[in-house]
Amino acid sequence: MKLPILFTIAVLAPLYAVENSPQQKIAAARPIPNELIDYTKHLRIASEVQPVREKRRLTEDQFITAAAERGTVVLDARSADKFKLRHIRGAISLPFTDFTVESLAKVIPEKTTRILIYCNNNFRGAPVSLAGKIAPASLNISTYIVLATYGYTNVYELGPLLDVKTTGIEFEGTEVPAPVSK
């Protein structure tokens, strides 16, 4: 009888200690104000844009057609080093970590400009330049929400997962083989 009780205590004690750690007690005891961080508003905006985003996910052909239309900006929010390796031809690089009112206004001056976004999770076959993220951490999701937060109202997203070797989307960058001349 003593052995099962000791076993239960040994298993549950560490769990209880983690749930009641000093850090948790401090965090629960007082809110830490910061007017530049608003998680509640982030969640509200994410919830509001979710149904709009779903309707604005484009097929490969729709993306190619829209990207060719005058006034459309193809925005690549990946890091600058990944952009240099491989990006959609004609895309503009503005790394997600550099998004500010000013930096966005430089590359997309009108809030109504049609913006097409894509990320690593839209492509397979280029594991260095387009390294996949876990699905909930896809850069498309964060980029869409943040662009909406900054007031951009005409954002569209490449929807499918495509192979870089067979897609009709054209790439450029140092990792992309030069076209074979005939």
Query: Which CATH number does the domain 39-172 belong to among 3.40.250.10, 3.40.50.970, 3.90.1150.10, 1.10.3720.10?
Result: 3.40.250.10
pLDDT for 83 equals 98
Could you give the C-alpha distances from 40 to 30, 45, 136, in angstroms and in order? 17, 9, 19
Residue 85 neighbours by CB under 8 Å, 6+ apart: 128, 129, 173, 174, 175
pLDDT for 127 equals 96
pLDDT for 179 equals 73
Amino acid identity for residue 18 in this structure: V
pLDDT for 2 equals 60
Q: Which helix (H) or strand (E) holds 75?
A: strand 73-76
Alpha-carbon radius of gyration of the chain: 22
pLDDT for 178 equals 79
Q: Render the burial of 30-50: b for 16+ CB within 10 Å, e for the rest.
A: eeeeeeeeeeeeeeeebeebe
Q: Note the pLDDT tens digit of each residue in 113-142.
A: 999 999 999 999 999 999 999 999 999 999
β-bridge mates for residue 155, sequence order: 115
Other Cβ atoms less than 10 A from the Cβ of 66: the count is: 15
